Structures are given as structure tokens and as C-alpha cells.
A and B are shown apart, each in its own frame.
Chain A
Amino acid sequence: MQYETQMYETQQMGDQLMELNMGPQHPSTHGVLRFVIHTDGELIKRVEPDVGYLHRSIEKIGEQVTFQGFLPYTDRVDYVSAMTANHAYARAVEKLIDCSVPKRAQYLRMLADELCRIASHLIAIGTYPMDIGAVTPFVHALREREKINDLMEALCGARLTYHYMRIGGVGFDLPKAFETQVHAFLKSFYVFLDELRPMLQDNTIFLKRVCHLGAFSKEDAIAYGIVGPNLRATGFDHDLRKNAPYACYEELDFKIPVGMGEQGTLGDCYDRFDVRVKEMRQSAYLIEQILGQMPEGDILGKAPKTIRVKDKWAYASVESARGELGFFVVANGQPNAYRIKIRSGSFAAMSMLPVIAKDVFLADLVAIIASLDLVAPEIDR
């Protein structure tokens, strides 16, 4: 609205900045996003993200439905990595009602989380080269993701919005021959990971596009509340699975990959890409361990049918594919929550974009946006 009037004034020749509109429908914005870009020639002087096109008022819906009834909506908060959103909300309610989760359910949750993390990173890894002009890796990545979708369908009957977790456990036990299928997937997945290096990380054209681009320091990242792989790419090893272990992550052995500035500046687009590739390999190791150590037992703990908690708040978060995803739930004795607040990683990353994308070329903006792995529904909720 206010931009329209400015647009006509600045579209003249002169020493003013030119105002460009990008989006809301744009192939590289990963959802519906709009940017207002002020350029001086090819250089971006200022970029203003305009978010909210995917606002579905999920927080308001959470005040209208019961605690259990809100679980399917959490899938829609971040539909690229829906399991982790399920997990975070289930943990928050379990904290409220002080409900313990059986060990087998915890392992099933971790299994689902890690599969979902790989699926989400495959989207990030696949679409990143496509946004900057290489289409082949996208097809390879989506081929692997398709196998995870099949596994998820076998596990819970849905391919994208799972609603697999319940308050106190998970909905379904492992289907028949699931472990064999996962091992078969992992076998082909390792081949894919090995192929990725010559395809992208040793590719001079790719490196020239992403190295030294969009770097920010660890201090800036913390000040802006950046979390997840974007934070770890700056060389800071903070991962909720290690630093504040939930489920049974402390029983498993895995490393946290951090950015090392291998090909350029520390914390640049290459580091963010590289951290995700390494994280996928760690997730694959985790899945092997989880399947090997899977205990027997119940999959659903004892949770009351109608949850009524008097004047209690709880905050729980998990390490989603885009970093800390947290749910803050306020209960006041009713079977529905009084207030739900969702803290998402993409929202923080998006708020930092005007700082990162300053004095860069217009064509590099797309590379920066894609490297942050922004998912629009998670920003807008």
C-alpha cells in the first residue's frame, strides 16, 4: 500500500536508489515471500522483507481447540520438517501435565525426527543449486527424499503432514520390515552423499557463486537470535540435542558439524551449505544407532483424555532442521490452551536478512536467501 506511492517517484533517472519488487510469487522464495529492494545499479543498498502472506493464525487456533486437537495444526507450522514441530508441542504439553514417555516411544520419536531432518535438508541442499542455476542436484536430492516420504507413509500413513506423535508417546509402532527398508534407504543415501561432493562441493562454478558471500559473525548471529545450522556455520557448536538433551539423545553418539571457513570466509553461504551436508551424514549414523538400540515396550504413556491444568506455563523446544523450534503454552484450567506462542528459527533468520544482504549484487540475494533455508510458513505461522 505505502510502497505503491513511492514506486512512481523513484522510477526516474537520477541519483536516487531504484526500488525493485521481488515476489510474492517468485520461484526462489520457497513459499510466498516478498522483498522490496533498493538498488544502486546492481548493488543492493537496502532490502526489506515483507512477510505474512502465509499467516494462518495458528496461535489463535491453538486457543480454540483442545490440547490434543492442536497436534495436527503443528504439522502446518513447518511442513517441510513436520515431525519436529509435532515433537516440540508434545513435549511442551507433557511438561504441563508431568507425563512420562515410554522409552520405545522416545526412540521412535528420535527415528522420525532424524528421518525428517534428512528430508528437510535434502530440500535445502537440492533447491539451493537450483536457485543459482544448477538443476541436476535437485533431481538427485528429491529422488532420495521420495524414499523418505515412502518410509513415513509406511510409518504413519501420511507423506507430508504426519500427526505421528501423541501427548505421551507416538501413534503407531514400527510397521513390518521397516528396519530393512530403512537400511536399504541408508545404503543408497550414502552413495548420494558421496556423489554430492564432486557434483557441487568440488564444482568451481558453484564455489564461485557461494564462497565469501553473505558471511556473518557468531556474535551477530547470537544477537539476532539465529539458531540451527545457520548458527553452527559461524563456528559455534550449539545444538539442543547435545546442549539440552531431550528424548534419549544423550544415549547416542554423534558429532555436531560446525562451519570452518574451508573455502572462504567463516560463516558464508558455503559453510551453511556444508554444515547441512555433514548434518545429514550424522543423522544417518543416528538412525543406524537408533534402530540398533530400539528397546521393546509401550509406545504410549498414560496421559489424561481431558487435559486440565491450573495456571501453569511450559516452554519446550527441539532442534528442528531450522534450529530451535519452541512452543510456549499457557494453561488456565480449561481443556484448551489459554495462549500458545511459537518460536521459530526462520523468523529470526529472516529478521537478519536486511543486515546480511547489504552491498551485495542483486543476483546474490537469491543465493543468500536460499542458504538460510527459510521456510515461509514457519515465519508467518
Chain B
Amino acid sequence: MSDLARENNEWFFLLERFPELILNEKTCVDMPLFICPEDQDYNVLEVLTFFKEHDAYHMDYLKFLSITDWSDVLEVVYHLFSYRTQKRCLVSKRISREGPRLHSCSHIWPAANWHEREMFDLFGVVFDGHPDLKRILLPDDWQGHPLRKDYTQNQTYNGVSTSRTYLTQLPSFSEDISTKTPLTKG
């Protein structure tokens, strides 16, 4: 790329170092999204370290970590921001739904420690190298990972019912309520 391109493209250094990244500016409003290759062995940690340490980006603030369950694959999204350069971007990596694993980035940003625990809790993604990976919002003996799309809640938790039986008799929204028999507590 020429010098002009270097000046105009704020993501020049990144795309030069990682040409395999796909820059997507359409999906997220007002924010560039970098999509990592779907290769299972691809190390997203190198990209994140580069973002943190390169002077042109200096992403010192990990805003959050989010996962979207696309039914066939889990998409992990890192939201990065730099106080010094005021740049922000998303980095996304798709991982398999069966036995999902990723490298922990809690040594790059200590903030990631709890965000990764939350993602482990709600989606079941295991972060290798995490100092203390355990459930955070749900009890330690909870079954399943609730934010997955195919999650079904157990009927009981430690012998306590998780649903109110009389609520199941409510007519659904699509049916005509007037034809139903009056609600009785079960």
C-alpha cells in the first residue's frame, strides 16, 4: 500500500499484520467489525494482543465480551476501545457449539476475568488459561447454559419447582381468550 493509503486507512497496521481478517463496516452501526477466520486453531489472542500493544490502536479498555448463539455456531464478540486514540472496534470469532474453547484474554485486560466467567456461565464456553473459571451469576450446581437458544429449563432445582403450575393453564396469546374456561389455580 502507498503512503496515502497508510494515512487514509486507520486500520492499515492491523490489516498489514493480519491480512486474513475481514473488515465489515455494514453489520454494526457506527462501528467497524473485524471477523477472524473460522479455522478452529486460529489464535484470536494474537489479534487482541496486537490491538492492545500497537501504538496506533492502544486499545486499553475492554468494554465487554458478548456471545451470540447462531444455532449452528457461537459468535464471540470483543468490544474494544482506546482512551488515547479514541478508536473503537469489534472483533468477532466464530467457534463450534460442541465443546467450545477459546484462549482467555484476562492477562491482557484484567476486566476480562469476570466477563469470561459470565460467558462460561451463560453459554458454556471454556476459556483456557483463565485463573478462576467458575459460574458467576447462577449457582454452582445449575444445569445447562441458559442463554443458548436450545436451552430448556429443568422442571425442578434442588427439589423446588421452577415453574408455577397454574400459569401453564393460561391461554396462549394467539388463542381466543373468551372461549377458554376460567383460570383456576392448580
Total residues of chain B contacting the partner, CB 8 A: 34
* Contact across chains for B137 and A313 when beta carbons are under 8 A apart: no
Question: How many Å from the CB of B37 to the closest CB on chain A?
Answer: 20
Q: Which of A311, A347, A350 has the most CB of B within 10 A?
A: A347
Q: A52-B136, A351-B113, A380-B137 are contacts. A314–B29 as well, Cβ < 8 Å?
A: yes
* Contact across chains for A225 and B28 when beta carbons are under 8 A apart: no
Q: Does B101 contact A (CB under 8 A)?
A: no
B60's contact among A2, A222, A350, by CB below 8 Å, is which? Answer: A222
Question: How many Å from the CB of A93 to the closest CB on chain B?
Answer: 11
B 109-129 binary contact with A (CB < 8 Å = 1; else 0): 111011000000010000000
A-B contacts at CB below 8 angstroms, number? 84
B27's contact among A312, A326, A351, A380, by CB below 8 Å, is which? Answer: A312
* Contact across chains for A223 and B29 when beta carbons are under 8 A apart: no
Residues of B within 8 A of A338 (CB): 68
Residues of B within 8 A of A190 (CB): none
* Contact across chains for B29 and A313 when beta carbons are under 8 A apart: yes
Q: How far is the CA of A114 from the CA of B77 in the complex (A)?
A: 32
Q: Does A57 contact B (CB under 8 A)?
A: yes
Total residues of chain A contacting the partner, CB 8 A: 39
A 345-363 binary contact with B (CB < 8 Å = 1; else 0): 0011011100100000000
Q: Does B48 contact A (CB under 8 A)?
A: no
* Contact across chains for B29 and A347 when beta carbons are under 8 A apart: no
Q: Does A315 contact B (CB under 8 A)?
A: yes
- Interchain residue pairs with CB less than 8 A apart (18): A51-B137, A60-B146, A98-B29, A222-B61, A222-B83, A224-B111, A225-B62, A313-B27, A314-B28, A314-B30, A315-B31, A328-B77, A339-B66, A339-B68, A341-B64, A343-B63, A343-B64, A347-B114
Interfacial residues, chain B to chain A (CB-CB below 8 A): 27-31, 33, 60-64, 66, 68-69, 77, 79, 83, 86, 90, 109-111, 113-114, 122, 135-141, 146-147
Known: A55-B138, A355-B110. 19 other contacts (CB 8 A): A52-B135, A52-B138, A55-B137, A59-B147, A60-B147, A95-B30, A96-B29, A222-B83, A223-B111, A224-B111, A225-B62, A311-B27, A312-B29, A315-B29, A326-B63, A339-B68, A339-B69, A341-B66, A381-B137
